[in-house]
Amino acid sequence: MRGVTLLAVAVPGLLSCSGHGTAAVSRTPVTYTVTIEAVAFTPPALTVKAGDSIVWVNKDPFPHSVQAKNGGFDSLPIQADRSWTLTPSAPGELSYVCALHPNMTGTIRVE
């Protein structure tokens, strides 16, 4: 039974890798990390697919935030050594800023 389960999981992957996948075969979402350190977002620009996740990890000793310039999302303050995750579901260009340090900016391009 376990073998059957593994096969069922493996097949879509094989189809996808061999280029014979169909639209019905879903892509495994990817999780990207944006590091917040030394008052900067690294990388400052990232391209992802809809359904992927982006995790912002604050490595500075004080809070930062991730706020969409168009008001679409707002992490509110992310404390030191904490993180915040966003999973965009639709394509678009998401420009964001740290509301606490207005010269910190970044962009997520969702395909």
Partner 1 sequence: MKMSVALVAGLLLVPAAGASAQGVDDAQIASIVVTANQVDIDAGKLASAMGSNAEVKKFGQQMATDHAGVNAQAVELVTKLKVTPKDNPTSMSLKEGGATNVASLKKLKGAAFDKAYIDHEVAYHQQVLDAVDKTLIPSASNAELKALLVKVRPAFVAHLEHAKMVQSSLTK
Residues contacting residue 109 through CB under 8 Å, at least 6 positions apart: 45, 46, 47, 48, 93, 94
Q: How far is the CB of 71 from partner 1 (least distance, A)?
A: 18
With binding defined as CB under 8 A, does residue 60 bind partner 1?
Answer: yes
List the one residue from 10, 30, 39, 45 that touches partner 1 (CB under 8 A): 39
HSE toward the beta carbon, residue 34, CA cutoff 13 A: 29
Nearer to partner 1, 3 or 102 (CB): 102
The C-alpha atoms of residue 46 and residue 63 are separated, in whole angstroms, by: 22
Nearer to partner 1, 12 or 77 (CB): 77
62 makes contact with partner 1 (CB under 8 A): yes
